[in-house]
Chain A
Amino acid sequence: LGRSAECQKIALGGVLSVNGDDTSEIGVLKLEEEPGQGLVASRARFDALFDHFYAELFGLVYRVLGDDRMETEDILQEAFLRLSEEVALQSHADAEIGAWLRRVCLNLAFNQLRSARRARTRLERVGRLEQSIDAEPIGPSALILRQEERTAVRTALAQLSRSQRECLLLRHSGYSYVEIAATLGVAVGSVGVLLARAEHAFRGHYRRQNT
């Protein structure tokens, strides 16, 4: 947490160099001047995509990462950064861009989960984040219980195949079969059976853990 040099550069840049007024349209202008740099094609278009997809992707990534709004935001920032460099993609239909973003977010989130460093860090701070960020009125015993429940859910999810796990999370996040199919790169007609098998497997793993 707070462990990188770059982040503090920003802090000082903000304080001392008036370098971070957070109003940047710099990327847009830079692209216009240097198309080869691959930045956003149109600020208005990119803003619209950002606003349209941010909340739903937040929910999806949050469910993968678990109780960590900051890590979730990190993933989303990274995903949108990658989108900003896919200039041609930005002119495609929203549905296609949405599928692309979900794919990127899921990859980033699961990669992040696998990071041993993150796992270690999470152990150190999970309790604090639960209280300080979500700020729910919850006592220590309830907090521990909730964490245990979530851990059990994640453990059960981890035992599924990747496609089953992602299918479950996507569906639970409210995506349609068409959107799920586009994200996973499968036929729409196969989503139902994938989902049904995922639910069956998940229920079995989860029940076995709790008995």
Chain B
Amino acid sequence: MTTSYRTCPDVGAWRAWLDHEDRPADLGEHLQTCPGCQHVLADLRQSAAEVHDTLSLLDPTRSPSSGDIALARERFYSRRRQAVVGAAGSAAATPIRRMARLSTRWRVGASGLAAGIALALIVAFTPQGGAAAASFLAQFRSQQVAPVEITPQTQGQIIQTMNALGNLGTITSPGQTGPTTRPGAALRGAAEQVRTVTLAEASQAVGFAMQTPDPAALPAGFDKAPEVRVMPGSQVRFTFDKARAQSYFQSTGHADVNVPDKYDGATLVVSIPTAAVLEYRNTVSKDAVIVGQAGELVVDVEGGKVTLPEMRDFLLSLPGLPTGVVNQLKQIQNWNETLPIPVPVDQVHWQTTTIHGNEGLLLNDNSGAGSAAIWHAGGHLYGVAGSVKANDLKRVADGMAVH
């Protein structure tokens, strides 16, 4: 083809040429014979290179890994559910607006803590607890808390492994119309039944007298009257299905995982207590201090053939669980009464603390802008979290009492 351009191509055509986006042959032929266009192209090339180098200063230092993405996706679902629940409790609020106001740093921490509950389903079973009874072979009752350090990567692995549980058997929950494939779905009913109540109603719902902070211990500017919400307890039952589990393992390249016959039909029963949350707001700054209280998380094994330690060993051996986390879980003493709280150590600092004579955890995000305390006392689980410094939050926790 001969050069067909009566006038030179415009700068856009040459820019596309430079990027190999559009390279018609006649354009190349024109370039061979047109010094003006050669000059334009050279200038475009230099400009593009210079701009590219300059804009590279804005590039992320690292791209999200597949683990980061998996974690982000799980956070998305978790957060959206929270938004839906929140919206249900406040007709004026919209899920989108709520989402936009959340702090990622806190959400990371919260997500880690939330994952702890899922983790607890596994951790409840530790090898040290050898003795087992007959039908209720052993039992886990949360009586204290312990930190388990995790990273975004290990957290993602844990979540993915937990999600895979549905492939190993059947998960059911009372009130649910049928089996599901994921533990989260089994908890859906309870999560969506959050309701606003009075303090007395909350005490009745959780089964013990609710404690409240000393109003004088609340940071300045916070309303002294909290909004009280209750989420009813629920129960999740997970029944192993050997054939299904082995099929799943084979399909995922883990054919070497052996599921002993006695696990077939064994049922893991997780009883989640009713929880109540008091929310104290600062209407000006939008800060909040949240106080939560619940009974014990109880885990049983039914089925008569498998002991709780055996079940725990099997769960901890599931492909995909990060070794470092598994080792931390195995080292927990008093396994059958310790609720592990995963702490995303890249985001959150932790330290042990004593609250009302009970050992607990004090967590604060690395910026110092938010903190949380978690402890067990008298068979109840307590937590305080807020966008306040750890010392201020500890004061709120220490002031908790039945008023």
Contact = CB atoms under 8 A, between A and B. Distances in A.
Pick the most buried of A55, A153, A192: most chain B CB atoms within 10 A of its CB: A192
Interface residues of A, number: 83
Contacts of B62: 134
B313 interface: no
Interface residues of B, number: 112
A29 B231 CA distance: 20
Contact of A74 (B60, B100, B116): B100
A9 B15 contact: no
A21 B115 contact: yes
A199 B72 contact: no
B74 interface: yes
A173 to B, nearest CB: 9
A55 B183 CA distance: 27
A13 B54 contact: no
Nearest to A53: B69
Contact of B21 (A10, A24, A177): A177
Contacts of B99: 77-78, 81
B102 A6 contact: yes
Interface string A59-91: 100110010011101101110111010000000
A94 interface: no
B281 interface: yes
A19 B106 contact: no
A112 to B, nearest CB: 9
Contacts of B61: 134, 136
A8 interface: yes
A190 B11 CA distance: 10
A162 interface: no
Chain B at the A interface: mostly helix, strand, loop or mixed?
helix
Contacts of B52: 172
Contacts of A161: none
A1 B370 CA distance: 8
B159 A63 contact: no
A177 B16 contact: yes
Given A2-B106, A78-B100, A9 B187 contact: no
Pick the most buried of A63, A81, A134, A136: most chain B CB atoms within 10 A of its CB: A81
B117 A14 contact: yes
Given A20-B114, A196-B11, A11 B184 contact: no
B117 A21 contact: yes
A3 B103 contact: yes
Nearest to A58: B64
Contacts of A134: 61-62
Interface in A108-149: 125, 128, 132, 134, 136, 146, 149
Interface string A1-33: 111111111111111111111111111011000
B58 interface: yes
B225 interface: no
Pick the most buried of A8, A30, A199: most chain B CB atoms within 10 A of its CB: A8
A93 interface: no
A70 B346 CA distance: 13
Contacts of B44: 196, 199
B111 A78 contact: no
A202 B184 contact: no
A100 interface: no
Nearest to A138: B61
A200 interface: yes
Pick the most buried of B64, B162, B341: most chain A CB atoms within 10 A of its CB: B64
A41 interface: no
A203 B50 contact: yes
A16 B367 contact: no
Contacts of A10: 78-79, 82, 102, 106-107, 110-111, 114
B383 to A, nearest CB: 5
Contacts of B101: 4, 6
Interface of A: 1-27, 29-30, 39, 47, 50-51, 54-55, 58-59, 62-63, 66, 69-71, 73-74, 76-78, 80-82, 84, 125, 128, 132, 134, 136, 146, 149-150, 153-154, 156, 168-169, 171-172, 176-177, 189-197, 199-200, 202-203, 206
25 contacts: A1-B103, A4-B286, A13-B114, A16-B275, A17-B292, A17-B294, A20-B82, A21-B162, A22-B118, A23-B118, A26-B185, A27-B84, A30-B84, A47-B73, A50-B73, A54-B73, A62-B59, A172-B58, A177-B16, A192-B15, A192-B19, A193-B10, A199-B15, A200-B47, A203-B50
Instruction: For the complex of A and B, list the 3 residue pairs with the smallest distance between their C-beta atoms, beginning with the closest.
Output: A14-B114, A193-B12, A20-B114
Given A13-B292, A24-B184, A125-B367, 16 more contacts: A2-B103, A2-B369, A15-B114, A15-B341, A17-B191, A17-B294, A24-B77, A25-B181, A27-B81, A29-B188, A63-B59, A63-B60, A74-B102, A177-B16, A177-B21, A196-B47
Interface of B: 10-16, 19, 21-22, 44, 47-48, 50-52, 54-64, 66, 69-70, 72-86, 95-96, 98-111, 113-118, 159, 162-163, 180-185, 187-188, 190-192, 231, 234, 272, 275, 277, 279, 281, 285-294, 297, 341, 365-367, 369-370, 372, 374, 381, 383, 385-387
